[in-house]
């Protein structure tokens, strides 16, 4: 693989709040279904894992529940705190809470955390007896056409295989086993196909969510890979009007920590 000398590489996925708001506002909007499953109650103390810019955390606050948010991006946490959310930078794979929350919520974040067992164990420990863990994230087969296109494009442009991006897209059965292994009783879990219109097209999706695909290459090759991936994905994901729809598949769940 040819690498341009002196190029600054993207070591991991980075988040730009303004770009995220402009190109991926649908993530929070479509998270309303998971929020309904959470059904926050007045007076509850709820942890929001992967709170991002705090849009859904605000809705939990509107239900008169207290919210603590955690996210790996300092930039996104800054936006969330600007909304008045009690948010901190942290890794949900290493939670240190102990019996503090009535519920833990997560939308569109758990697929970024490959150590699912550590997340589940930390959430279980963070919950009070009888507390619930509710969320939605990428399930098995999520954005498969998008990922296949960028893998093929990467090899065409660089001559090398795309390095693993380490995202976690389990089946319902696999994630049920993770939750039960942590001690939860699974109340609801389902794989939900959800074709999702992309207001900024596939280019906007790659720019917002595809940082890890391009972490090992420089800017010139990044643009070439992206253009080729868009070309390859057109037959499956772009309609005759030029509108793009991503092949999202979500895993939605509710699990309960048994009462003592």
Q: pLDDT digit of tens for each residue in the chain (260 aa)?
A: 222 223 332 335 554 555 545 444 445 555 688 999 999 999 999 999 999 889 899 999 999 999 999 998 898 899 999 999 999 999 999 999 999 999 999 999 999 899 999 999 999 999 999 999 999 999 999 999 999 999 999 999 999 999 887 789 999 999 999 999 999 999 999 999 999 999 889 998 988 888 888 888 898 899 999 999 999 999 999 999 999 999 999 999 999 999 98
Q: What is the 3-state secondary structure (H, E, C) of the chain?
A: CCCCCCCCCCCCCCCCHHHHHHHCCHHHHHCHHHHHHHCCCCCCEEEEECCCCCHHHHHHHHCCCEEEEEECCHHHHHHHHHCCCEEEECCHHHCCCCCCEEEEEEECCHHHCCCHHHHHHHHHHHEEEEEEEEEEEECCCCCHHHHHHHHHHHHHHHCCCCCCCCCCCCCHHHHHHHHHHHCCEEEEEEEEECCEEECCHHHHHHHHHCHHHHCCCCHHHHHHHHHHHHHHHHHHHECCCCCEEECCEEEEEEEECCCC
In the prediction, which pLDDT does 233 show? 97
In the prediction, which pLDDT does 208 show? 83
In the prediction, which pLDDT does 17 show? 52
In the prediction, which pLDDT does 207 show? 86
Domains of the chain: 17-256 (3.40.50.150)
In the prediction, which pLDDT does 9 show? 28
């Amino acid at each position: 693989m040819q690498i341009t000398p002196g190029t600054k590489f993207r070591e991991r996925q980075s988040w730009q709040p303004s770009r995220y708001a402009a190109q991926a506002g649908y993530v929070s909007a479509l998270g309303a279904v998971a929020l309904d499953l959470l059904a926050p109650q007045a007076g509850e103390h709820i942890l929001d894992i992967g709170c991002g810019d705090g849009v859904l955390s605000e809705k939990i606050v509107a239900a008169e529940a207290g919210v603590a948010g955690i996210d790996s991006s300092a930039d996104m946490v800054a936006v969330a705190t600007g909304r008045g959310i009690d948010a901190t930078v942290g890794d949900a794979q290493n939670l240190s809470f102990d019996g503090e929350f009535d519920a833990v919520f997560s939308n569109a974040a758990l697929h970024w955390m490959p150590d699912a067992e550590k997340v589940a164990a930390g959430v279980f420990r963070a919950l009070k007896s009888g507390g619930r863990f509710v969320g939605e994230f990428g399930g098995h087969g999520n954005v498969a056409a998008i990922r296949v296109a960028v893998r093929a494009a990467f090899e065409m442009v660089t001559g090398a295989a795309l390095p693993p991006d380490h995202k976690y897209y389990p089946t319902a059965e696999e994630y049920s086993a993770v939750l039960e292994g942590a001690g939860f009783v699974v109340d609801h879990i389902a794989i939900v196909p959800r074709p999702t219109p992309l207001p900024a097209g596939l280019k906007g999706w790659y720019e917002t969510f595809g940082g890890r695909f391009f972490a090992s290459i420089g800017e010139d090759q990044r643009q070439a890979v992206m253009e080729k991936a868009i070309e390859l994905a057109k037959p499956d994901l772009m309609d005759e009007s030029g509108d793009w729809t991503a092949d999202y598949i979500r895993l939605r769940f509710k699990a309960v920590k048994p009462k003592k």
